[in-house]
Amino acid sequence: MTIAMTRGAHHVGLAVRDVAEARDFFVETLGFTVAAERPDYPAIFVSDGTTLLTLWQVADPARATRFDRRANIGLHHLALAVADLDALRAVFARVQAHPGVTIEFDPEPIREGATTHHFICAMPGGIRIEFATPFA
């Protein structure tokens, strides 16, 4: 058996239309904390204690385009883990109530008969985020 040489993601960098709006989504809705800010970059670093996200402000939000997995190479979506189905439902309620969020689909099994559940939304600015319970 081969042992992986890595230990999971260190951090994920996301280019966003509005760095303050993205920060508010993660901090106010999901309970992340601001780990650091670099106004000259411009970037804000947020963390849930396990995952660190770098939120970069794009230079020209009016010209920024949404990612299309059929046409672009890059990150299709960010998937964040939650503890269990109750936590998933709680996150769904908070995310659904946040201004500017678009729900792609409500919590459901990841496939027929699965115990893992998930939902996907687009946060303000359009980045797709999946929330999922642990794989059984």
Per-residue H/E/C for 63-117 = HCCCCCCCCCCCCCCEEEECCCHHHHHHHHHHHHHCCCCEEEEEEEECCCCCCCE
How far is it, in rounded angstroms, from Cα 136 to Cα 129? Answer: 21
**What confidence score (pLDDT) does residue 73 get?**
84
**What confidence score (pLDDT) does residue 66 get?**
82
Kindly list the averaged pLDDT for each block of 10 residues, start to end, along the chain of length 136.
Answer: 89 95 98 97 96 95 86 90 98 98 98 96 95 92
**What confidence score (pLDDT) does residue 132 get?**
98
Query: Is residue 92, in this structure, part of any structural domain at all?
Result: yes
- Are 48 and 95 in a shared domain? no
For 40, counting Cβ atoms within 10 Å of its Cβ (0-12 exposed, 13-18 middle, 19+ buried), the class is exposed
- Are 55 and 87 in a shared domain? no
- Are 86 and 135 in a shared domain? yes
Query: Is residue 40, in this structure, part of any structural domain at all?
Result: yes
Query: Is residue 1, in this structure, part of any structural domain at all?
Result: no
| Spatial CB neighbours of 20, under 8 Å, sequence gap ≥ 6 | 44
**CB-based burial, 100-118: b 16+ in 10 Å, e otherwise:** ebeeeeebeeeeeeeeebb
- Are 85 and 126 in a shared domain? yes
Number of domains composing the chain: 2
State the residue range of the domain holding 131: 75-136
